Amino acid sequence: MSRETILFALYLSAALAGVGVYGLFARRNIVFVVMSIELLFNAAILALVALTAAGLVGLNGIAAVLFFLAVGVSEVAVGFALAIAMLRTRRSADVTEFSELRG
């Protein structure tokens, strides 16, 4: 891959991470929070793929991408299951009302 393509992928990864962090801290809806966390995972995956394509990370980068994909899928499943459970009991998607999970 060319240097410009790799830089574009890294810049896109940084932009995705920025949008994910903004959505994580600025949104109150649980669905948007879970989607923002997924954006952060996808940004990390994109950066690892770009670095692997550049030759800076060996096969460990591919293994990390597969691991992040598995963790991301399970995180979305658990996050949406918690969201549905809380929506059924609270009838609200506002994360500030979810104080039942505090220890």
Kindly report the three-state secondary structure assignment for every residue of 47-97. HHHHHHHHCCCCHHHHHHHHHHHHHHHHHHHHHHHHHHHHHHHHCCCEHHH
Domain harbouring 51, CATH code: 1.10.287.3510
Range of the domain at 22: 3-95
Digit-coded pLDDT (tens) for 9-66: 999 999 999 999 999 888 788 888 888 988 998 898 898 888 888 887 777 778 888 8
In a domain, 11, yes or no: yes
In a domain, 60, yes or no: yes
In a domain, 102, yes or no: no
In a domain, 30, yes or no: yes
In a domain, 101, yes or no: no
Domains held by the chain: number? 1
Is the pLDDT confidence value at 103 over 60? no
Is the pLDDT confidence value at 95 over 80? no
In a domain, 50, yes or no: yes
In a domain, 77, yes or no: yes
Give the per-residue pLDDT at 94: 75
